[in-house]
Amino acid sequence: MLVEHARMHAKHRGHEAMHAEMVLILIATLVVAQLLLVQWKQRHPRSYNMVTLFQMWVVPLYFTVKLHWWRFLVIWILFSAVTAFVTFRATRKPLVQTTPRLVYKWFLLIYKISYATGIVGYMAVMFTLFGLNLLFKIKPEDAMDFGISLLFYGLYYGVLERDFAEMCADYMASTIGFYSKSGMPTKHLSDSVCAVCGQQIFVDVSEEGIIENTYRLSCNHVFHEFCIRGWCIVGKKQTCPYCKEKVDLKRMFSNPWERPHVMYGQLLDWLRYLVAWQPVIIGLVQGINYILGLE
């Protein structure tokens, strides 16, 4: 017994130093990667957003096929097919008049579904932690798997749709001509035209619309209510589509029931780093450890 114990100590001698070295490599890689990503995002935001979106879209596919998550794969294919069609419509020139509404309706639908799915998943996880699943005779592992799966679906597709929506919003607004990422708009905005969709505004700001109202920003530019909400929430824009003045989201979403949607959008922006870049950084750390002979 003592001989085996001595052999075990001899086998693992020096592992403490090796583990400490691996932890230092992990911390150093995380810090350097974070600094590089921040600089890349600040200096070249367009390429950063495109690469991040591609990784968000493709990286989970690799793990899905490897781990045989066929249900996720089917949903991913359906989402990708419809989103590809919507993105194709949004990037065509000239832009069809009905396209902006189609784009915002699709991504707003996915946004709401992901929001509801994430909430249900979070509640299922909390109910399991408090043991409430036993009231329905559900095994803890089954309840936890159900909750985590829904939480993952909600957060993943929530992040993905916001990135695609932002890209489509830029393309459409630039094509319509009332918005430009840099420089002045190519068209003059009339008081009776919405700069987001380029369509006429028939309802006055002071009137109550049958289908939707008209909203006036603090810069006095007016928009269809659904358009400006889609621009701010779904398209992740917080400036006027025409003059780029800062939009007061608290004033726009004065209803307390609508504010969680804004906070949820901010949460999704934060989670993008974890989904898109964390697997790459972890893979880089493992590669460094392998090269240095650390196991």
Q: Which domains does the chain have, with CATH numbers?
A: 1-43+281-294 (no CATH), 46-176 (no CATH), 188-260 (3.30.40.10)
Residue 83 CA to residue 103 CA, distance in Å, equals 9
Please report, in tens digits, the pLDDT of each residue of the chain (295 residues total).
Answer: 545 555 555 555 556 667 777 778 778 887 888 788 878 877 887 788 788 888 878 877 877 888 888 888 999 999 999 999 998 988 888 777 778 778 878 888 888 898 889 889 989 988 888 888 888 888 888 888 899 889 889 888 888 887 888 788 777 777 765 555 555 555 666 777 777 777 778 777 666 656 667 888 877 888 887 777 777 765 556 777 777 777 766 565 555 445 545 566 666 666 776 667 777 778 888 888 778 776 6
- pTM, two decimal places: 0.69
Per-residue confidence (pLDDT) for residue 8, from 0 to 100: 52
Residue 195 CA to residue 240 CA, distance in Å, equals 9
Q: CA of 269: how far to CAs of 161, 163, 236, in Å?
A: 11, 9, 9
Residue 275 CA to residue 272 CA, distance in Å, equals 5
Residue 225 CA to residue 78 CA, distance in Å, equals 29
Residue 120 CA to residue 277 CA, distance in Å, equals 26
Q: What angle do CA 274, 110, 233 make, to 5 degrees?
A: 75
> How many alpha carbons fall within 13 Å on the CB side of residue 171?
21
Q: How buried is 62 (Cβ within 10 angstroms: 0-12 exposed, 13-18 middle, 19+ buried)?
A: exposed
